[in-house]
Structure 1
Amino acid sequence: MNVRRRGSAAALAVIAVLGAAAAPAAAADPSPSASASAPSQPSQPSTPSTPSTLFGTTDPQYDGVWRQSLALLAQDTAGVLPSSGAVDWLTGQQCANGAFAPYRADTAKACDAKTMVDTNSTAAAVQALWAVGGHGDAVEDALAWLKSVQNKDGGWGYSPGGASDANSTSVVIGALTATGTDPERVEKDGRSPYDALLASALSCAEDGGAFGYPDQDGKLLANADATAAGVLGALGKGLVTEAGEKTDTAATCADADQPTREQAAANGAAHLARALAEDGHLKSALGGSADQPDYGNTADAVVALAAQGGVEKAAEPLAWLKKNAAKWAEQSGPAAYAQLIFAAHATGTDPRAFGGTDLVEKLNATGPAPRGVTDTATISAQDAEQDEKKDDSGFGVRWIVGGCLVVAIAVAVGLVLRARTKKQQP
């Protein structure tokens, strides 16, 4: 199904009611509108490799779009209104065919066959742009491109035409479900993304139920990163998800001739739980050195475990992250802060008090100042009125403008509800 283009009537109604009382700070960044809980931060100094509207200061050649997408998505998840310039930077990276490359230094130059577009950057951008709203055309074009490069087995590789892998297929599944598109209905030669994902699920007897990632010869090898991604993909979840239903049973793996998506997710979660049991975190070997704590994959594992079996399943690695991950995130930058915010969200943890660290403030400080923040009541209102949040006009109704805002939103929502009621009448 195509992404629904949102009408602009609701946003125009809000703007008309708010009038001069709530002019959004969209023209320039930084904006003075951030509240005390997310103070304005000065934009990063502009250099040839790090534009002032880009999150992070390291060379964006390989991860610019990815880290920008995760940062914007994390801000939205935490109730922060991202900088308009940061969102514009992301949309400006899109090629005319809808795809995204990791980074385009010269966006005035059209993409060509040498532009290294990829599915991961594109799918992450879809999730971020859908979350912040106002970019339905860009989202729809990106989804159309993703569908056009779907492999015959139903999945995706990192690069168009590359062999399908659990990581890439899962992040695209997240983009599809985030935008209300059923992955089951996105088929190539009769195969859906879930078919490709299940093909990468390994046996309990040999690999403990992990999801595999292909080596140079195409052989699937158990991989923690692929497993965390595969669990979310099998559940039809994106980068941002809440905890699933609590399961009281111990993490076990069960083989089946034709495992369901739910069973594959449970097997993957069991594999992660066993890998985390000894130290409370995952490990990785770098360049033949001794095993090191793998903070990023541990954060992803927390999200996967919580989504599959409830908050309690992720308690131990979550506690380890709260105690140990602050320095890693500071050194690694915006994407790392975003991963921790996703872990906090999935477990119902306050990201502003994560082991003594305000992850939201730290993330905000790595990029252009946000336009503002929302309070809990406003967030709840937006959840109930999702169409307004995603309105294609580019305007939201989440500005903090004092007491006038409450009245203005109430009037605007009333207009929207009356319009919907009238539209639904025979």
Structure 2
Amino acid sequence: MLTAARLGAAALSAALLVGAAAGPALADSPAPTPAAVPDGLYGKSDPTYDGVWRQSLALVALKEAEVTPADSAVGWLTGQQCEDGGWPSYRAAGAACDPKTEDSNATAVAIQALVALGGHQPAVDKGVAWLKANQNADGSWAYNPGSPGDANSTGLAVNALFAARTDPASVAKAGAGSASGTAGAGAGAGKNALEGLARFQLGCAAPADQRGAYAYQPDPATGALAPNTLASAQAALAATGGHLPVATSVRTQTEPKPLACADGSAPATVPHAEAGEAVGAYLTGLLAAGGNHLTLTTPGAAPTPDYTATAWAALALIQGGHPEQASGAVDWLDGQEAAWTKDGTDAGATATLLLVSQADHRAAAELTGKLTALGPAPKATAATPADTGTAKKKHDGFSQYWLIGIGLLVGIGGGLLLSLQRKRNPNL
């Protein structure tokens, strides 16, 4: 069964949407044989469902910590990309790409990682082209192409577009007779990416305490939207115009503004200009009511703390300029480090927590060390020059000049001593 490590994964998201109905199908499915952990990958657990996900998060977090990852770590991620530009969750070495296994979540985080690392523009361009080609006509993205879109996957795709400096408002499914993939690119062009994200957000028609939340998907029968905690947290970073890593200095010193719904003139969907504040207000309320963390609730199971949703909510609030509203959640996550990261052995959780700490400008050297230890030895760290050969040459040059100076001083001193001895004893 897919785990929460793969945020937005198809089976997990379906379980969150329909509850126990998804359980039997997953339980009856034969468990796949665990894949061997390849060299270059962060973490030692089975990478079948989260290999690209955790690798991408780890590379983003380490780059932000001024750690230069090993070539094998970067090469593993770039080697997972298929010729058409998409990424699967994991592909064994030598295995052919299967378009049916490529997914928008893995592709979106991989794009963000390669943008953060720099120097991988062709791979980034191919990844963005894959997202454009696999966008739904309503502007959304599904986990796997060909399915109805969901808020989690659409949010991640928008994050990737922002990271790649591609305006999401310009990205829409091309109409008939056009293959450009940009808004208005021919008759019948679809909704753009921001419109696709907006279709999942609850507006003024919803009860006051639900406004600004995101649904995972509309109800297939009625089209009604029901707030979903994980979907709201995941989509919120995109609604605030952000991507990984979150590195903003904006501080509004105010709480997020809830939707203004004084009369019946409010639009049917939340305008993008208000989307980030609206979901920020919703998440702030949930965090305050839940003891600074969000909760995962599924039918038939006891409510449990949702580390991942809490982390993404904190990232979104910080991106939106509300670090004070995120600080309690960051404190809570810090206190849950051992449980969430499995004592620093879960690469995806460790990387996510590190990204949150970095966004909130907290000391993160210990977390950085733990994440670094889960993968191949880095080429360099913030305290180690990347070009050790250059550093050695500079040191060697200094040493040579130092020795020459000492030799000159010894020579001068010896000459003076000999001169004084000759004056005292002319026979010398």
Q: TM-score, normalised by structure 2?
A: 0.72
Partner amino acid for 1:177?
F
Partner amino acid for 1:240?
P
Tell me if the contact between 1:231 and 1:266 (Cα under 8 Å) persists in the aligned partners. Answer: no
Tell me if the contact between 1:244 and 1:308 (Cα under 8 Å) persists in the aligned partners. Answer: no
Matched, 1:374 2:382: yes
Matched, 1:161 2:146: yes
Q: Which residue in 1 is equivalent to 2:350?
A: 337
Tell me if the contact between 1:231 and 1:308 (Cα under 8 Å) persists in the aligned partners. Answer: no
Matched, 1:280 2:280: no
Q: Higher relative contact order by CA 8 Å / sep ≥ 6: 1 or 2? A: 1
Moved more, 174-183 or 94-103: 174-183
User: What CA distance in whole angstroms lies between the structure 2 residues aligned with 1:158 and 1:299?
Assistant: 21
| Equivalent residues, number | 334
Partner amino acid for 1:94?
Q
Superposed, 1:292-371 pairs within 5 Å as 292-330=304-342, 333-352=346-365, 358-371=366-379
Root mean square deviation of aligned Cα: 2.5
Tell me if the contact between 1:210 and 1:271 (Cα under 8 Å) persists in the aligned partners. Answer: yes
1:55 to 38, 42, 55: 42
The 3 A distance-change label for structure 1 pair 346 and 56 is same
Q: Which residue in 2 is equivalent to 1:111?
A: 97
Q: Which residue in 1 is equivalent to 2:422?
A: none
User: What CA distance in whole angstroms lies between the structure 2 residues aligned with 1:153 and 1:406?
Assistant: 59
Q: Which residue in 1 is equivalent to 2:252?
A: 247
Q: Which residue in 2 is equivalent to 1:67?
A: 54
Q: Which residue in 1 is equivalent to 2:70?
A: 83
The 3 A distance-change label for structure 1 pair 120 and 399 is farther
Q: Name the SS for the 2:216 alignment partner.
A: strand
Tell me, which stretches of 5 or more residues in structure 1 are unaligned? 1-46, 353-357, 379-396, 408-426
Shift of residue 57 of structure 1? 1.4
User: What CA distance in whole angstroms lies between the structure 2 residues aligned with 1:216 and 1:63?
Assistant: 28
Shift of residue 267 of structure 1? 1.0
Q: Name the SS for the 1:372 alignment partner.
A: coil
Tell me if the contact between 2:307 and 2:333 (Cα under 8 Å) persists in the aligned partners. Answer: yes
User: What CA distance in whole angstroms lies between the structure 2 residues aligned with 1:271 and 1:171?
Assistant: 19
Q: Name the SS for the 2:226 alignment partner.
A: strand
Deviation string for 1:307-362 (max 9, x for gaps)?
Answer: 1133212111111112222331135611111111121122111222xxxxx11111
Tell me if the contact between 2:219 and 2:225 (Cα under 8 Å) persists in the aligned partners. Answer: no
Superposed, 1:65-214 pairs within 5 Å as 65-106=52-93, 108-113=94-99, 115-188=100-173, 189-203=189-203, 205-206=206-207, 207-214=210-217
Shift of residue 70 of structure 1? 0.8
The 3 A distance-change label for structure 1 pair 98 and 323 is same
Tell me if the contact between 2:171 and 2:193 (Cα under 8 Å) persists in the aligned partners. Answer: yes
Shift of residue 406 of structure 1? 9.7
User: Identity over aligned residues, as a percent?
Assistant: 40
Q: Which residue in 2 is equivalent to 1:267?
A: 278
User: What CA distance in whole angstroms lies between the structure 2 residues aligned with 1:136 and 1:347?
Assistant: 29
Tell me if the contact between 1:98 and 1:144 (Cα under 8 Å) persists in the aligned partners. Answer: yes
User: What CA distance in whole angstroms lies between the structure 1 residues aligned with 2:305 and 2:214?
Assistant: 20
Q: TM-score, normalised by structure 1?
A: 0.72
Deviation string for 1:228-277 (max 9, x for gaps)?
Answer: 22221122211211246323444442143153323111110111111110
The 3 A distance-change label for structure 1 pair 399 and 111 is same
User: What CA distance in whole angstroms lies between the structure 1 residues aligned with 2:191 and 2:388?
Assistant: 47
Q: Name the SS for the 2:38 alignment partner.
A: coil
User: What CA distance in whole angstroms lies between the structure 1 residues aligned with 2:284 and 2:394?
Assistant: 45
Tell me if the contact between 1:96 and 1:110 (Cα under 8 Å) persists in the aligned partners. Answer: no
User: What CA distance in whole angstroms lies between the structure 1 residues aligned with 2:211 and 2:219?
Assistant: 22
Whichever of the two has the greater Rg, that structure is 2
Tell me, which stretches of 5 or more residues in structure 2 are unaligned? 1-33, 174-188, 396-428
The 3 A distance-change label for structure 1 pair 173 and 251 is closer
Partner amino acid for 1:360?
T
User: What CA distance in whole angstroms lies between the structure 1 residues aligned with 2:254 and 2:89?
Assistant: 41
Partner amino acid for 2:356?
A
